[in-house]
Amino acid sequence: MSNLHLSGDGRQSVQSHLRELGQRLRATVILTVILAVVWSFSIDIILNWILARLDPCTTSCINVFSPDEWASTKWLSSALLGLLTAAPFAMIQAYTFAARGLLPSERRAFVFWMTTIWGLGILSLWFVIMELMPWVFAEGHSFQSGLGLVGLYDATEMLRISITISWAVLLILAAISVIRIAGSMKLLWAGNSGWWRVRVHGFMVMLLWLAIPSQMSGLMIALSIIAVSLVELSGWNIFRASAPDAYGLNDLFDAEGGIHRVLYVDCSCCGSTPSISPLPGMGVMRYDAVCRYPIEQNYLIDSCKRFGVTDIVFSGCSLEGMPPGFMDSLRFLGIDSRSLDLSHIATLRTHNHDVDLRLAMASLISPWSKQSSLERINKILSECGIKTLHHGGNIPFGLQMNRDEAWLSLADCSGIDVFTTLHDQ
């Protein structure tokens, strides 16, 4: 297995994915073209209003020096307006295509980011064209007037510069919003910041260079430096954040100093498995039946990936009964999985006594030492007054415990206090 799969993922060829992507892109492009044609009927009024705002002179000093370039700028403006109005449909298409391959938290972040960037795109376009660029052109005109020069400006060039700056601002806001949203949803921290940096900076700079005209090489370099710097500053704390905490997870150290984040999956197994408290430092997530419900499996994979889980301890689930794809995903994430087998241990008594369940939890080793495990076991045996301890690798069929007896799923019980009588099964 070379990548992460969600429960319920189907096996589809790359060609089928590309075919679906092509169909969705064609639908979006067709709608954008239709809307661009609709906008083209009123684009002259819109551009005249924008140019009146951009004009830095008291009496108009804007002219069209190249009719063909002016025509292309008009169609470019119509296309941009068509794209903005087609954005909700494009977002639906993008989500429908990508959602099946995203974890639950990633789907929420993706929807939030698309909605946010659409709103930011409209606001940034309005701010740049109606506030920022009029101020820039007015400052440039006043400087030119101070030199005694007569201002005469190309309407096409003014609009292109305004559109380029708007695009740059939008890309910077898109990159910043990605970092902020991913950080707030605990998808980004110091452990995976390198992965995020490469992709966010790479896509942002590539799209900047594609949008900026080649004759504006100075602007291209300056905007790239500014964009990268702003993204780094906005994500300063997020890029350096420690592993996020949730569900009570703590860093546990083994004998060699390795860090473990152990998650106890308290699964009721459709009501057949009782609930017990985990060891100190373990995180806890509670489910109904992980082995049966793909949605619970996906949420578990999502949480393990987000919070850096290294070990999973299932309460009653049998690892052999888990879907192979789900277990493959856990192995892909580098997670060691174990089960306490509480659903079977709970059948050893007809009376209500949780000593066997507590012993199963106390017997956990790694990252805990064997000595600490033995101390926990002996403490439980002493508290519960156990006189006879049955143990072995498998529970014998028909075994039933009395109140002064207990079961421990260990083949080797050397180190147990002498007051117990050990019976190998």
Topology of domain 245-339 in CATH is: Rossmann fold (3.40.50)
Q: How much of the chain is in helix, strand and coil states, percent to nearest 5?
A: 60, 10, 35
Backbone phi, then psi, for 284, in 5-degree steps? -130, 130
Cβ count near 81 (within 10 Å): 20
Q: Report how far apart, in Å, the C-alpha atoms of 1 and of each of 186, 297, 326 are.
A: 26, 18, 11
What digits encode the pLDDT tens for the residues 92-118? 999 998 888 888 888 899 999 999 999
Q: Is residue 282 a contact partner of residue 260, using CB atoms and an 8 Å limit?
A: no
Q: Which of 375, 354, 353 is nearest to 363 (CA)?
A: 375
Question: What confidence score (pLDDT) does residue 37 get?
Answer: 93
What digits encode the pLDDT tens for the residues 116-172? 999 888 888 888 888 888 888 888 777 766 666 666 778 888 888 888 888 888 889
Looking at the chain, the domain(s) classified CATH 3.40.50 span 245-339
What digits encode the pLDDT tens for the residues 5-32? 776 666 667 788 788 888 999 999 999 9
Handedness of CA 166, 168, 172, 175 (dihedral sign): positive
3-class secondary-structure state, position 220: helix
What would the 3-class secondary structure string for 249-287 be? CCCEECCCCCEECEEEEEECCCCCCCCCCCCCCCEEEEE
Q: Which of 382, 386, 385, 380 is nearest to 358 (CA)?
A: 380
Backbone phi, then psi, for 204, in 5-degree steps? -65, -50
Question: What confidence score (pLDDT) does residue 418 get?
Answer: 42
- Residue by residue, pLDDT tens for the chain (425 residues) are 456 777 666 666 778 878 888 899 999 999 999 999 999 999 889 888 888 888 887 777 787 777 878 888 888 889 889 998 999 999 999 999 888 888 888 889 999 999 999 988 888 888 888 888 888 888 877 776 666 666 677 888 888 888 888 888 888 999 999 999 988 888 888 878 888 888 898 889 888 888 777 766 677 788 888 889 999 999 899 888 887 778 888 888 888 888 899 999 998 888 778 888 899 989 999 998 888 888 888 899 988 888 889 999 998 888 888 888 888 888 888 899 998 888 888 888 877 778 888 888 988 988 998 888 888 888 888 888 888 888 777 777 777 888 888 888 876 667 676 444 445 54
Q: Tell me, yes or no, if the pTM score tops 0.95.
A: no
Alpha-carbon span 329 to 287, nearest angstrom: 18
**Which tokens go with 98?**
């990508």
Residues paired with residue 266 on neighbouring β-strands, in sequence order = 286
